[in-house]
Structure 1
Amino acid sequence: MGTRLRLAALWGTALAVAGGAAVAAWAWARARGRLRRRAAPLSARPAAVAADQGRGHGKQILVLGLDGAGKTSVLHSLATNHVKRSVAPTEGFNAICINTEESQLEFLEIGGSESLRSYWTMYLPKVLLLVYVVDSADHARLPTAKQLLHQLIQNNSTLPVVVLANKQDLEGAYCITDIHDALALSDIGDERKMFLIGTHVAEDGSEISSSMKDAKELIAQLVLESQ
């Protein structure tokens, strides 16, 4: 039957990719109540420390994507509920912890430059969820983003994946259906939970967009269901 989506619901403009078809996700029942969160960003950590964290509580979320996709800005937005655009790319590892009512979410971002991509597969077996960030306006590198994503998950048919089609506010950015096609998400198995959400970060200091809140809700729910 394709992917069996066990999420009760989801707010926002996400697409759930199931059995090769993009299906509009439905609204998460408000009766469950929104998760209340307290965010506490952690400092960037070297490889050795990040490796220890990966062996910690088993609730880690790996955040990957090409350099310049906006991974660090996305993480800061998720942690603080406010926008802070990142200027310099992550050179190494960046760890952030977000507390919710139900659990503690441990995010580990690994830089997307060519020299760091070899670390990606090392950490993949340790995590509950992969968040893959792409620059929706960087058309030239979408084929590379596609290739790397497919290589990452080819040996793990059940790892949940949330793809963030970031920088939707930029001129020329592909919409999420175009990103879906560019990344060939329909070709990625039918046994995993996979979601595609269009995101962007606004001006520094402003509150995060509704799409970013949707992503945060979804990630928290997927982690709960994966434990």
Structure 2
Amino acid sequence: MRERSYYRGRKKGKKKDQIGKGTQGATTASASELDASKTATSPPTSPRPGSAVAPSSAATSNDKPPSRQILVLGLDGAGKTSVLHSLATNHVKHSAAPTEGFNAVCINTEETQLYFLEIGGSESLRSYWKMYLPKVLGLIYVVDSADHTRLPLAKHLLHQLVQHDSTLPVVVLANKQDIEGAYCITDIHDALALSDIGDERKMFLIGTHVAQDGSEISSSMKDAKELIAQLVLETA
């Protein structure tokens, strides 16, 4: 199934075919190496200054964390851990164990460090999601494009999240586009009612899939990585 990308947000003049490929210069900011990764079964409480789960003590004037944290959320089984591994290492790992707690990853780029905090998507962990929204520059929300029955729940949780911050940039990854029966990007957009999320935020929807174990990441995943890096640089 051909993956397409969709954009809506405050910036006018961007063409749809630019989204998912980033803007000019985005390639130099793409994630290049996995610096650190850890998983915990309980929420981080007193992390080290500058760690992937704590904002730096040096706050900026607009209270945005200089550590450039990005929150990675989505229902259990959506493929968050595999997506994050692909973004960090440029290689595929289908066998990544589901995140039972919290997974923090730091990725070095040529211009900055990106800190990703993934929180598991099971019902017992969803109460923690909104607690971390004030600490991040953006949200990556991963959905399983082939899990039609749970898309209404994914929509409900996403809309709950974004109401806490009307300007938080959101990147929705419509994952598992390679599975037979997966909804296309247009259907995912409608199923998640992304038009209702508001006009004050940058909103991206990108079709992705995690390829065969050990192979290089798909072009759509590279697009997503470059876009996320560029978005963080523009937002920070």
| 2:177 pairs with one of 168, 171, 189 | 168
CA 174–59 in structure 1, closer or farther in 2 if over 3 Å, else same: same
Q: Equivalent residue for 2:6?
A: 15
Letter in 2 for 1:135: D
Moved over 6 A (4+): none
TM (norm. structure 2) is 0.84
1:5-33: CA deviation from partner (whole Å, max 9, x where unpaired): xxxxxxx84210248xxx72425565x36
Q: Equivalent residue for 2:37?
A: 42
Q: Secondary structure at the match of 2:127?
A: helix
1:182-209: CA deviation from partner (whole Å, max 9, x where unpaired): 0000001001000000000011000000
Give the fraction of aligned pairs with identical amino acids, expressed as a percent.
71
- Give the gaps of 5 or more residues in structure 2: 57-65
1:205-226: CA deviation from partner (whole Å, max 9, x where unpaired): 0000000000000100111011
Contact 1:95 1:109 in 2 (8 A): yes
* Distance across 2 between alignment mates of 1:83 and 1:210: 12
Contact 1:162 1:195 in 2 (8 A): yes
Q: Equivalent residue for 1:121?
A: 130
The count of corresponding residues between Structure 1 and Structure 2 is 212
Q: Equivalent residue for 1:9?
A: none
Matches within 5 A, 1:68-147: 68-86=77-95, 88-147=97-156
CA 127–173 in structure 1, closer or farther in 2 if over 3 Å, else same: same
TM (norm. structure 1) is 0.87
Letter in 1 for 2:55: R
Contact 2:22 2:230 in 1 (8 A): no
CA root-mean-square deviation = 1.9
Q: Equivalent residue for 2:55?
A: 55
